[in-house]
Chains A and B, each alone.
Chain A
Amino acid sequence: MNFDLPWLERPTQEDRERLKFATSTSSDVDAEGLRRLVTRDWSEVELRSIGRAIRRYTRTQPIDGASTGQNEGPATFSLLLISQNTVTHLVDALIASSLRVGILLDCRTVEYQEPETWLAENRAKLSAAPPSASMYIPDRTSLNLNSCVGDPVLAAEGVNRAVDRVKRIADQLHEFTGRSVILQTLAVDVSDSQLSMDAWLPGSPRRILAAFNEGITQYARERSFPIFDVAAIADFVGAMHWSAGRYWYVAKLPFAPAFIPLYSYRLVQLLATMLGKSRRVLVLDLDNTLWGGLIGDDGIEGLTVGLGSARGETYLAVQRLALDYKRRGIILCIASKNTESIARDAFVRHPGMLLRESDIALFQINWRDKATNISAMADALSLGLDAFVFLDDNPAERKQVRDALPLVAVPELPSDPSEWPLVFQAAAYFEQLNFSAEDQGRTEFYRGNALRDVQAKTIGNHEEYLQSLHMIMTVTSFEPLGRTRIAQLISKSNQFNLTTRRYSESEIAGLEEAPEYETMQIRLEDMFGDNGMISVVICRKLNRIWEIDTWIMSCRVLGRGIEQATLRVLVDHARAANALELRGTYLPTAKNGLVRDHYAKLGFVEVDRAGTSGTTWKLVLSNYLAWEGPIEIREPHAAADSPKH
């Protein structure tokens, strides 16, 4: 009765016994045990028991707001779900599913009420204790989304009324909470007529639903609200399966309870990206994953890949899947147990290959175990292991990586490769909030880096190497064009991030014109290519003191003097505004130990140490000695427009 999540491991009998023990009410909750067990493909009732156990656990450690995972703690998130039908039945499954990605979820619900009335009555409470995000769940009955066949005017009016109502609810939620509002799309109602003509017939149920979903999606984009596309999930599994059927009539359930695990899984993917936990790297095996056969044994001629055979085409489909993700900004890497020259040669020379060498950022082809190789990739790319997804046909390899690196996502795969794309896509590993032009060129950046590494080795002296790069740093304040990329950096940077403050895209938009803030978006080019935007600084201007609220830099450009150059520009701006002092704070997390001494290295003096909650630093501007380095700084919109060296 439960829809499987086939990319997750099946629970064994031993797992079930361990689960009974870990969730037993007769002893303390075994949180660690739960964390290890939750990764399985549990049924809905089992997920609920895990959720209940987690709730018991969090009663002793209350959650408030969202945190990214300070020190060793898990990330926390509080979610408010508003529906005019049943929604509380999802809470425990959501809490359990959140644990899979290391999130402790607090989930509140509002059911069976008019959202507007509830909002009016609870405004103060919402403002006083806002959830990290709220989600409004629409339904066609409450929204009066009824078909008016053949009457386009009436149809449009009805849709607009419904969309406007959703907009008003979303706006109010955003206004009262100051946080993101997630908008959910509406799935097909299988009790509606569905004739072929409805594809074009104005006012048909099909056209009305599409117009409604389009309306709220557009609005969500305008307001930078995330969209949870339930309509797409329902399409994927089939609207007639998704439909609640009897359960709607007897308990107002919004969709078939068999899909509660899938719904929860997908919503949690979205919440994870909102917390900056998106996955960005796809590591691929070669033999029997990207091609049929073993290159070491069968030679290039013995491989099956490409058009001309059914089997060959299935592997082509896997390559196409990878290529599609590359175009979305996902980094592709190869991890294969082979002799590098032989495997790489096949990669390059086999005529059936769709993926080219230039599509791959890193090759780790050797005889070491895959987990070691993936760890090396994480170091090389300066990304956490939780950014990785690993695709391998071999269950033993998958298990090795899962056991050694539990943060890496390793989908279970059916034995027939023709089914892999379906399973992989359903898992939606690479859910993101945005897509920017930089996503398209990301592989180029990493390949450029590989070339820079070669250059560095050739020019032994570091200073000369930096000179040879001919770096140009461009600094501008926040403006709409850069907004998406700024939001991406702010939500995803964990290591070179002094305060790990997460701002939504709409909050960032607010900073663009705010006179009391100094904002910097920094781009870097060098002779090997354009690195794009690599650093973001947000500074609060308080009379004579400028307080650095946010300082983020991409780890790709460490050791080049970017921080020093950034400080120089910031000091120039502060001086021009007659400020006397810069202040900065370091808030430690499990991931940003890298920047503990950032301000010390820049010549700041430590001012304060408030327990374990970080360090505060100050720089008296009159003491600052202008840094000179091998970076050309350009400020296209600054008053003085000659480039400085």
Chain B
Amino acid sequence: MAESANFLSKLTVIFREELEQDDLTITMQTKQSDIESWDSLAHVRIVMRLEREYNIQLDVSEIEGINSVRGFYDAVESHSG
């Protein structure tokens, strides 16, 4: 799980900056409905950061389909394979 731990720590930094909450914590179980400030704008901003970080491009249905931290992880995994 070292890979996912690495991913999680990167994603935590991104979440904190884009959701503008310095003390936010996320886990691999966190869902969009758990975090109030995770709205569609924040979602898009997180996507853009991940695309830049991992040099990938997610399409509309992927972006729309993600609603959890796990979803982000799976999307990044599927593009890096």
Q: A residues within 8 Å of B by Cβ?
A: 1, 25, 45, 49, 52, 86, 88-89, 246-247, 249-253, 257
Contacts and interface: CB of A to CB of B under 8 A. Distances in A.
B17 interface: yes
Contact of B20 (A52, A251, A257): A52
Given A45-B49, A88-B41, A250 B60 contact: yes
19 contacts: A1-B52, A25-B22, A45-B17, A45-B49, A86-B41, A88-B41, A89-B41, A89-B45, A246-B60, A246-B63, A247-B44, A250-B40, A250-B43, A250-B60, A251-B41, A251-B43, A251-B44, A252-B40, A257-B45
A246 B45 CA distance: 12
A146 B17 CA distance: 39
A49 B18 CA distance: 9
B77 interface: no
Contacts of B60: 246, 249-250
A634 to B, nearest CB: 62
B63 A49 contact: no
Contact of A246 (B20, B22, B49, B59): B59
Interface string B56-74: 0001100110000000000
Contacts of A49: 17
Contacts of B43: 250-251
B35 interface: no
Interface residues of B, number: 18
Given A1-B51, A1-B52, A45-B49, A250 B44 contact: yes
Contact of A257 (B17, B48, B59, B63): B48
A52 B16 CA distance: 13
A249 B52 CA distance: 20
A251 B20 CA distance: 18
A89 B48 CA distance: 14
A247 B45 CA distance: 10
A250 B18 contact: no
Nearest 7 pairs of A and B residues by beta carbon: A251-B44, A251-B40, A250-B63, A246-B60, A1-B52, A249-B60, A89-B41
A490 B47 CA distance: 47
Contacts of A86: 41
B33 to A, nearest CB: 18
Interface string B16-55: 0110101000000000000000001101110111011000
A246 to B, nearest CB: 5
Contacts of B22: 25
A257 B18 CA distance: 14
Given A25-B22, A246-B59, A253 B44 contact: yes
A255 to B, nearest CB: 13
Nearest to B63: A250
Q: Which residue of A1, A25, A247 has the most chain B CB atoms within 10 A of its CB atom?
A: A247
Contacts of B51: 1
Nearest to A257: B48
B13 to A, nearest CB: 11
Nearest to B52: A1
A251 B48 CA distance: 12
Contacts of A252: 40
B18 A45 contact: yes
Contacts of B47: 250
B59 A1 contact: no
A52 B60 CA distance: 29
Contacts of B18: 45
B64 A250 contact: yes
Given A45-B45, A250-B63, A257-B44, 9 more contacts: A1-B51, A25-B22, A89-B45, A246-B60, A250-B40, A250-B44, A250-B60, A252-B40, A257-B45
A12 to B, nearest CB: 20
A1 B63 CA distance: 17
A249 B63 CA distance: 10
Contacts of A1: 48, 51-52
B61 to A, nearest CB: 10
Q: Which residue of B22, B43, B45 has the most chain A CB atoms within 10 A of its CB atom?
A: B45
A49 B49 CA distance: 15
Contacts of B49: 45
Contacts of B64: 249-250
A1 B41 CA distance: 17
Nearest to B23: A25
Nearest to B20: A52
A361 B34 CA distance: 65
A228 B40 CA distance: 27
A246 B43 CA distance: 13
B19 to A, nearest CB: 12
Contacts of A251: 40-41, 43-44
Contacts of B48: 1, 257
Contacts of A257: 44-45, 48
A86 B43 CA distance: 13
A252 B40 CA distance: 9
Contacts of B63: 246, 250
Contacts of A52: 20
Q: Which residue of A49, A86, A246 has the most chain B CB atoms within 10 A of its CB atom?
A: A246
A52 B18 CA distance: 11
Nearest to A249: B60
B56 to A, nearest CB: 12
Nearest to B51: A1
A1 B45 CA distance: 12
A87 to B, nearest CB: 10
A257 B41 CA distance: 11
A52 B22 CA distance: 13
A247 B41 CA distance: 9
A253 B18 CA distance: 16
Contacts of B20: 52
A602 to B, nearest CB: 55
